[in-house]
């Protein structure tokens, strides 16, 4: 049972904007630990999408953006494309658990 909660699924039409929330607590996101986001297509390797709350690694389209506020973080995908259909996970560190934690995961569907 993860300490980072995400909606199970979000969907949108091509070209639309969708957001995925990641709700934590004062022992992880609220404590100031960075939030990272990963894209995981079935049968492939998880890919780092956003690091340190807002940073896009080289090669990640600027359609993807991250933000953090208080005990939560969000991933936004603008100009949704069919290739964005995947599972998305947030990840941080939890001081109470003394370990790294992943969110529950969100499946993005392009209608």
Partner 1 sequence: QVQLVESGGGVVQPGRSLRLSCAASGFTFNSYAIHWVRQAPGKGLEWVAVISFDGNKQYYADSVKGRFTISRDNSKNTLYLQMNSLRGEDTALYYCARDHSSSLVVPAAMDYWGQGTLVTVAS
98 burial class (0-12, 13-18, 19+ CB within 10 angstroms)? exposed
The reply to whether 15 sits near partner 1 by the rule CB under 8 A is: no
Provide, rounded to whole angstroms, the least separation between the CB of residue 7 and partner 1: 13
Footprint (CB under 8 A) of partner 1, residues 61-90: 87, 89
C-beta closer to partner 1: residue 84 or 93 = 93
Which H or E run contains 109?
Answer: strand 106-110
User: Pick from 40, 56, 60, 85: which binds partner 1 (CB under 8 A)?
Assistant: 40
Report angle CA 42, 45, 77 to the nearest 5 degrees. 70
């Amino acid at each position: 049972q993860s300490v980072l909660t995400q909606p199970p699924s979000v969907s949108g039409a091509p070209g639309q904007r969708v957001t995925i929330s990641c709700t934590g607590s004062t022992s992880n996101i609220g404590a100031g630990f960075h939030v990272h986001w990963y894209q995981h297509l079935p049968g492939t390797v998880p890919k780092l999408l956003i690091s340190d709350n807002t940073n896009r690694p080289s090669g990640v389209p600027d359609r993807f953006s991250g933000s953090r506020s208080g005990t939560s973080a969000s991933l936004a995908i603008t100009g949704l494309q069919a290739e964005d259909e995947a599972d998305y996970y947030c990840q941080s560190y939890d001081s109470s658990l003394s370990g790294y934690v992943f969110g529950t995961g969100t499946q993005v569907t392009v209608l």
